Amino acid sequence: MMNIFLFAISAALVNNVVLVQFQGLCPFLGVSKNTKTAAGMGGAVIFVMTLANTVTSVIYYYVLVPLGIEYLNTIAFILIIAGLVQFVEMFLKKKIPTLYRALGVYLPLITTNCAVLGIAISSVQDELSVGMSILNGFFSAVGFAISITILASIREKMERNNIPKAFQGGPIILIAAGLMALAFQGFSGLM
Amino acid sequence: MNRITERLYNGIVKENPTFVQMLGMCPTLAVTSTAINGLGMGLATTVVLTMSNLLISALRKVIPDKVRIPAFITIIASFVTIVSFIMQAYTPELYDSLGVFISLIVVNCIILGRAEAYASSHPVIPSIFDGLGMGLGFTLGLTLIGILRELLGAGTVFGVTVTKELWNPIAIFTSNPGAFFVLAFIVAGINAFAIRKAKKKGEKPKLRRIDTCAGCTNMACQGRKFCGEEAEGTVSAVKDQVKKTEVKKAEVEKAEVEKTEVKKAEVKKDENEKVEAEKAEVKKAEVKKAEVKKAEVKKAEVKKAEVKKAEVKKTENKVKSVDGKAAKAAAGSGKNEEKKAPEKSAETPKKPSKKTGKDGE
């Protein structure tokens, strides 16, 4: 139990997928304009990443390893993730319209979010078991959701500030993200 | 020949993926902690980009339009796998330090972006040089950022000591937050330059925006329509669509409900009309009875002309008596109400007195 708790802290905060590992910066910078959208995006990433890690680790250990073609993991995973997201979108649209309304908008954005592929690949590279890689996907995505929501609330506060013209738009967001990364480095003392 | 140099110039300077298009932010920030890492990542991307452009351009008439994105992804992923094998064999140190980002070349926006924008619609030779130009532009960007970060953070360039002994290097620039800060100041510098240039010409400056994330990869979202401001546009558009369909459904439901209500209402109206008619009939019943009686009287007149006067008097008497009863009843009910009213008024003051009594207790 303690191990799982430490693992969760490690995946969500210490090795935060955006601010420490630099994966999934596109949605992190692009869809963080307001807190509501950011939280929706975070929820969708949690959903897709957990599912993607489940499927990819199962495929890896029960198809690729027995056939001796582990080296094809990049091709296999990207195609699995792309197909999975499309399938999930169609499934939610037909069967669970309430969930589709909450998450469906963000699903196409996630397809090639490099964090999804990155976490799937790094979980098999670290030789995590199927159960652990599911947890890894879930908690990494929780880390993503935390950081994108924080950045969105910072950006909402910054709207009213008088920012130098050259820093408007991209640069000031990067500086805010850099300060967040600085704060997240403090978590490495936890482990 | 002219076309080839134009492609190279376009990739390295005019549409530089790092400094102009702001594409591929993940590797730009992640692997530029040293100049050699930046250079290695840039070259690996260049190889993949050139090879995938070549193959996609050669197969552009074979690949059906509908499945082109998965086909492109498969081609790109194959080259990424090949490149990662080569790096693992010949540059193991670099392979270890770049880590998962070699695999993540697959989802680098630049590669799929070029496949979509150029290679899938142009002949092979220009496509190769387009890929080469873009790749070298990316390499240049990553190497420059890498040199800057290494110089500031470690005082070396490509491992060669430069300013390390002159002053203490600022270690934060080689760590994660430093990547954000360096890129922020580079973008701000480019913006400041653009603003000054635009002021001289009297135009509106084109600011580099990182949050629009123009390329953000994409098979499903096909490039740019789902990213940044446009993304929020599409998000709201999709939400609008959902709302519209909901509104339509609601309207249809309403319409159905209205129809049933109308039917019910019609039924009710009919019932009401019947009831009213009945009431009216009841109201007029007395009158009718009287009339009927009158009619009967008339019939009777025809039949029994002689007994007219006597019956007419009787009916008149009956009508009078009915009216008289109604009047009495009305008067009676009025009296009842009057009787009830004072009782109520008498009751109401009692309650507060009880309450006050309780309060007193």
Nearest residue, CB atoms, A171 vs list B25, B178, B188: B188
pLDDT of B237 over the 60 cut: no
Proportion of chain B above pLDDT 70, given as a percent: 58
Q: Identify all chain A residues contacting B23, using CB atoms and an 8 Å cutoff.
A: none
B28, B259, B329 from B295: Cα distances, Å? 107, 46, 28
Q: Identify all chain A residues contacting B74, using CB atoms and an 8 Å cutoff.
A: 75, 79
Tell me if A190 is assigned to some domain.
no
Proportion of chain A above pLDDT 90, given as a percent: 38
ipTM of this predicted structure: 0.88
Tell me if A2 is assigned to some domain.
no
Output B307 or A54, whichever has higher pLDDT. A54
Residue of A nearest to B25 (CA): A25
| B209 shares contact with chain A (CB less than 8 Å) | yes
Q: How confident is the model over B161-203, as pLDDT tens digits? A: 888 788 888 888 988 899 999 989 988 888 888 888 888 888 7
Q: Which residues pair with B156 in a beta bridge?
A: B161
- Residue B79 phi/psi, 5° resolution? -65, -35
Q: How confident is the model over A122-180, as pLDDT tens digits? A: 999 888 899 999 999 999 999 999 999 999 999 999 888 888 888 887 888 899 999 99
Domain count, chain A: 1
pLDDT of B287 over the 80 cut: no
User: Which of B109, B180, B247 to mutate to test binding with chain A, by most A CBs within 10 Å of its CB?
Assistant: B180
Number of H helices and number of E strands within chain A? 10, 0
Nearest residue, CB atoms, A121 vs list B29, B103, B234: B103
Ordered by start, the domain boundaries in chain B are: 2-226, 231-339
With residue B35 as reference, give the H or E element that holds it. Answer: helix B35-58
Q: Looking at residue A57, what DSSP letter applies?
A: H
Are B103 and A173 inside 8 Å of each other by CB?
no
Q: Which residues pair with B160 in a beta bridge?
A: B157
Q: Which residues 59-78 on chain B approach chain A with CB closer than 8 angstroms?
A: 70, 73-74, 77-78
Rg (CA), chain A: 17
What is the model's pLDDT at position B263?
67
Tell me if A78 is assigned to some domain.
yes
CA distance B179 to B306: 125
User: Which of B41, B74, B211 to mutate to test binding with chain A, by most A CBs within 10 Å of its CB?
Assistant: B211
| A167 shares contact with chain B (CB less than 8 Å) | yes
pTM: 0.70
Are A175 and B219 inside 8 Å of each other by CB?
no
Comparing B89-103, B178-192, B331-345, the range with the smallest average pLDDT is B331-345
pLDDT (average), residues B201-207: 77
CA distance A136 to A53: 8
Q: How many CB atoms lie within 10 A of CB B333?
A: 10
Q: How many CB atoms lie within 10 A of CB B295?
A: 12
Tell me if A96 is assigned to some domain.
yes
Give the structural domain span for A129: 26-185
- Residue B200 C-alpha, separation from nearest chain A C-alpha, in angstroms: 16
Q: How confident is the model over B17-44, as pLDDT tens digits? A: 888 877 778 888 888 889 999 999 999 9
Tell me if A14 is assigned to some domain.
no
Tell me if A11 is assigned to some domain.
no
Q: How confident is the model over A109-129, as pLDDT tens digits? A: 676 678 889 999 999 988 889
Tell me if A117 is assigned to some domain.
yes
- Residue A180 C-alpha, separation from nearest chain B C-alpha, in angstroms: 8
Tell me if A87 is assigned to some domain.
yes
